[in-house]
Amino acid sequence: MTETALITGATAGLGAEFARQLGAKHYNLVLVARDAERLATGAATLRQDFGVAVETIVADLETNDAVDRVAARLRQVRERITILVNNAGYGLPKPFDENTLDQESAHLRILVTTPMQLMHAALGVMLEHGHGRIINVASMAGFIPRGSYGACKAWLISFSRWANLEYGPRGVTMTAVCPGFVHTEFHQRMGASTRAIPEWMWLRPDRVVREGLADALSGKAVSIPSKRYALLAAGSRFVPAGLGAAAGRRGR
């Protein structure tokens, strides 16, 4: 059977890399993001490079109508989705108290509510067929006190741990991929300076996605790309909250 992967936030950074690596593995693709032109260009390149079928859905995943359209594609049985990658996201540049409630609500929506709705839609078809993989792009920030961003990512990690236990035996695995700092458009879009982040803390998207995909395909609940971040995540359990929060102030 030809498998199909749906990736949110597929126009840039980690999402675009998930599309490339899954295309190279001969998955057909459904790419979701807001920028229609970038989606069309990316889709054409993937078709040409890998000979796979590529659909695009132009969707602002902070709006009900767009999330409903993507959820409808996930419920479709013909050419059903066997891998869902919940990846679209961003960080807010200011701390919680300086943001408006609307900004925080939109941020919570893109990082938690939308992935939750898409997982719910995908699970129905996946469980019915006893086969599927859901990948939630979380963050190392989910392991330390890191404002509302860290709290959203902690939700994804905790939920993925539970869901992998619950649905894994029924053929559907769930994996939270937890990168540290990655060279993408994330920090630039946030308008955040990256000067205080030492070079050794940066990862390349190809490595994050390669390790994340391998862990997801082997059914792991949590994937922490690179040994250095796996060590940091293990250590974060023993570090006092204040120290973790101080480290988290460097970035997302």
Q: Least distance to ligand NAP from the beta carbon of 13, Å?
A: 2
DSSP-based three-state secondary structure for 181: strand
Q: Which of 27, 149, 167, 229 is catalytic?
A: 149
Q: Least distance to ligand NAP from the beta carbon of 166, Å?
A: 23
Query: Any catalytic annotation for residue 229?
Result: no
Does 29 engage in binding with ligand NAP (CB under 6 A)?
Answer: no
Of 11 and 160, nearer to ligand NAP (C-beta) is: 11
Select from 68, 62, 144, 66 the least CA-distant residue to 111: 62
x/- site string to ligand NAP, residues 152 to 191, per CB under 6 A?
A: ---------------------------x-xx-xxx--x--
Is there a contact between 140 and 179 (Cβ–Cβ < 8 Å)?
Answer: yes
Does 115 engage in binding with ligand NAP (CB under 6 A)?
Answer: no
> How many whole angstroms separate alpha carbon 160 and alpha carbon 172?
11
What residues between 31 and 90 interact with ligand NAP by CB under 6 A? 33-35, 38, 59-62, 87-90
Q: Residues in contact with ligand NAP, total (CB under 6 A)?
A: 30
> How many whole angstroms separate alpha carbon 54 and alpha carbon 201?
34
Is there a contact between 205 and 183 (Cβ–Cβ < 8 Å)?
Answer: yes
Distances (CA, A) of 90 to 20, 22, 93, 128, 224: 21, 23, 9, 33, 19
- Interface ranges with ligand NAP (CB under 6 A): 9-15, 33-35, 38, 59-62, 87-90, 110, 137, 139, 179, 181-182, 184-186, 189, 252
Residues assigned a catalytic role: 149
